[in-house]
Structures are given as C-alpha cells and as structure tokens.
Amino acid sequence: MFSFTNEGTLTVKYMRQTLVWLTALLLLCIALMQGCASTAPEVEQGAKGPDPSNLIAAPRSGALDLRWDTNRNESDLISGYNIYVAMADGDFEPQNSQPYPGDNNAAINFETYALEGLQNGEIYRVYVTTVFPGKLESQPTNTIEKIPRPEGRTLLAESFSGSNEGFSFARDEHVLTDDIDNDIYLAVINGRVNLASPNRVDYVLRTTKFFPLGKATSIDSVQITETPSDPVRLVAVAEGDAVLFQDAGDSYGLIFVRSIKGGDKRVIEFDYIYQDRPDTLVFH
C-alpha cells in the first residue's frame, strides 16, 4: 500500500498538468506540420528530373513566341510542359489544360511555343515548368514580361497614289491618305522623300510626331530609352534611316527605311514596330 503526503500529492498534480501541456503542444506541432505539407506546391514534393531555364519571347501582333532550354536527356521521362501566364499583376494560370508535348523540332535541348490569342498593348508575364509522371512539376524557368504588338515590313507609296498611300499602325493595315485612322503618308517635296503627318493634308486628320534617329543597320539595332526633343510633322528620309514616331493616341513606334524606289511615283519599303500602349518605349 502506498501513501502520499500532501507534498507528494501536489507533486503528482504538477506532473499530470505538465504531461497534459506537453501532449497538447505535441498535437499542435503535428497539426502545423500536416497543414504545411497539405499546402505545399507540387514542385516542392520531390519532382525528379531537370529544370527548364532561359525562357525568352519574341512579341508579335496578338502573340508571344516562346523558347526555353529543356536541360533534359533522351533518358529523362517527362509528360510535357506547362506554360503559366498572368496579365500585369494578376495571378498565374496554366495556358494549357494538358501538358504541352513540345514542338515538332527533333532537337530536345530546347522547345518553342506560340502563345497566341493575346491582346496588343497588354503586359503579360510568363514562365514554364516541366511536367513529370504523376503530375509533379519542375522548378519554374525565369519569369519574362513582354507586350504583344504589331510589327512587320510594308510599302508606302506617295500620297493619293491609289495604292499603299497610307498606313494605320493600330489597325496594322494600309488605308487611304485622308482616312481618319491614317498615321503616316509619303510626301515628295523638291525631289526629297518625306514621312508626313496626315494633319498636314487636313487639320481634322490624325497628328503624328516624328523624331529622326539617324542611320541604323536594322530596326533591331535601334536602342532608345527616352523620347528625343523637338518632334516634327515632316521628316526627310533616306535608305538606312531610323525614325521614332508618336501617334495621336500617344503610342510610340519605330521605322527603319530599307529602300526607296520609283521614278514619277516614289515608294519606300520599311520595317516597323508599333507599341500599342501609350507612353511606352519598349521595342525589344
């Protein structure tokens, strides 16, 4: 038979309370660990295989052409790739409902993807992951930020010539010289070829401001981070000239004059990039 003094009874009481507190603390720790495990992304659950990297994108009208390094070997077993897209500060969402299997190029060291159905002038953020069997994903590539925009190569003939006489950059198509959407026309004055603002024909038409940038080797070689001063509504051009312009909606564009041809009626061929987003000097 055991007997306890009052002191011994008090000691047992404290031991029991301590045991209860320790048990509660242990249960709390277990609950916290389970909660962390249940919210962890799949990418943290031990995906096996290489991580993709070096994601780049070439913008065009309504699209971004993606390219990334896969860093994988023939023996690596994968299900495909997920392309994640977000607009401006929005949440990322997968562009594809099923893993993208890759392009038709036989090379496995890189992949490409045409991200289409985008809106010109909007900022898009993109990253890519590799998907492995079991729907586990790799670490993501770098995140890129790009703006789809019209670009291309076209002809511009003298004003009111009946063919290619004006061009609307927002519509990305030729228009008449006096069309309300026209942004540019070709004026030959004293034998010199000039790019001109439509409001020189009629004040109700759109005003385009031009900023001569001098000679360049291509439109891709033109680097500009701020708007030059002293815009003009008429600028003389020659082959190899680069010109920055600002349209009536305060959107900027680049022009590179490739060639000037013709006798009685002059025609220029030029490359262009039009950033359909006001006050944005981002072209490459």
Report pLDDT digits (tens) over 156-213.
999 998 889 999 999 999 999 999 999 999 999 998 999 999 999 999 999 999 999 9
197-218 in b/e form (b: 16+ CB < 10 A) is bbebbeeebbebbbbbbeebee
> Which tokens sit at 270?
């030029």
From the number of C-beta atoms within 10 Å of its C-beta (0-12, 13-18, 19+), residue 79 rates as middle
- Range(s) of the chain covered by CATH 2.60.40.10: 53-146
Q: For the segment 38-61, what is each residue's pLDDT rounded down to a tens digit?
A: 333 344 434 567 999 999 999 999
**CATH class of the region 53-146:** mainly beta
Q: In what order do the strands lie in the sheet with 267-275?
A: 151-157, 267-275, 252-261, 241-246, 209-215
Between CA 226 and CA 219 the distance in angstroms is 17
Nearest to 181 by CA among 273, 268, 248: 248
pLDDT score recorded for residue 9: 42
Q: For the segment 220-276, what is each residue's pLDDT rounded down to a tens digit?
A: 999 998 888 899 999 999 999 999 999 999 999 999 999 999 877 899 999 999 999
Rounded to the nearest 5 degrees, what angle is found at the Cα of 91, between the Cα atoms of 87 and 94? 85
Q: For the segment 112-151, what is each residue's pLDDT rounded down to a tens digit?
A: 999 999 999 999 999 999 999 998 999 999 999 999 999 9
